[in-house]
Structure 1
Amino acid sequence: MSAGLPWPVAYTVSGDDCATRMPLGHSAPLAEAVRDLAELDYDGVEVQVRETGAHHAETLARTVGAAGLKVYGIGTGPVAAHDRLTLTDPSPDVRRHALARLLGAARLAGELRVPVSLGQTRGTFLPGLADMQRVWAERAVEQLAEEAAERGSRLLLEPQSRAPRCGTPRPRPSPSSTRSTSPPDWSSTPTTSTPRASTRSGPSPTSPPSPAACNSPTPRPGGP
């Protein structure tokens, strides 16, 4: 598929350690997903992982390689999406477990010599805690980036939206404003849209691949 392009074409899949398949990626188990993608002439995959480490590298590479594909990246969305572990959670134990999971993913990425990405597992700033959460996030991201570099990988930060989560209700105008001849002002209320879910289990050869960031748009802490 990448013939004539300066980069390989990859698609998001879920690792066997994931409790459920991640949205915006192939919905089949890993071995089946890579076979489907090989038939569609993809070059490789980004593998979303939940709880893994360097010792899983050989098995993962063998499963993906059996279909003639390569692993081009390790994603960490399931750490938050499945287990609700983030680097900015008010609980020290939750933050510690989140960082441990991410460090394991970085070690796996290092063994495979591919990047590791960080998206929604950064967490969300809460009113009254944002300043402290920013410190927690910066310290954790620094440690994660150092671990990735030492292992031969690198950390990629996903530029996710800071808008409210999907499903957050929009405020309704007051009765007085509904009687006004002017439309209500929504400019102070950021919104986000979610791609419509496909009824197919995988990508079609005629449509562009879904973004590597396989999790739904979610607030991110103010950038480390």
Structure 2
Amino acid sequence: MNSLYVGDLHQNVTEADLNKMFSEAGPISSVRVCRDRVTHRSLGYAYVNFYQPDDAERALHMFSNDMLEGRYLRIMRSDPDRTLRKSGVGNIFIRNLDKKSITNKNLYETFSAFGDIYSSKVVCDENGHSKGYGYIQYKTQEAADRAIEKLNGMLMDNEKVFIERFKSRKEREAVAWSKASESTNVFVKNLCRTRTDETLMRFLWKYGQPLVQGHERQITGSRVGSVLFASKA
């Protein structure tokens, strides 16, 4: 484990900048800023390779979440086996962070009390300003669970933070769809002007579930030239 991943780099950061910074931790074998193949612009991350694992470990602790060109660095071990990172094990989501005071470094220092951290990040906009939420991935799920138990609902710089296990986009969409499927409310538009509550009830009754699922149909009862539309309210 001689290699470190360095992310959230400013476009102007070069190999020479990283070499100068990280060489304080020990002799470096190579530095590579990853760039677009066509434009050669920095992709915002790099790899710093040391000769000795101990030097890489030292650099991780020395420079984690330090600033370079006005941006906080995100540093983690460059593990060729990405199984852990992609598995979601030990990954937690933190929201309602104070946008002015909580940085990557604050987040790392606070959450490292509960176990070894694989990576940490306060999500920022293109100008480097915090969006008020972040992520921590621990090496173990046990550490993540301890952090949730101890810090969820606690104050961090006078803001009450909320912490939960990270959910992938597919998982979030599944939860949202599950909640929506429990609703029995339907929104209907493009009705003709002669419709009343009573006639609408009789009309919808015969169509049942297909209308509730948001189908569009050209059927009697819609405005002339319009498609009657129904969907979840």
Q: Is the pair's TM-score, using the shorter chain for normalization, greater than 0.5?
A: no
With normalisation by structure 2, the TM-score equals 0.24
Asked which structure has the greater CA Rg, the reply is 2
Q: Which has the higher contact order (CA 8 A, sep 6+)?
A: 1
With normalisation by structure 1, the TM-score equals 0.25
- In terms of fraction of residues, the more strand-rich structure is 2
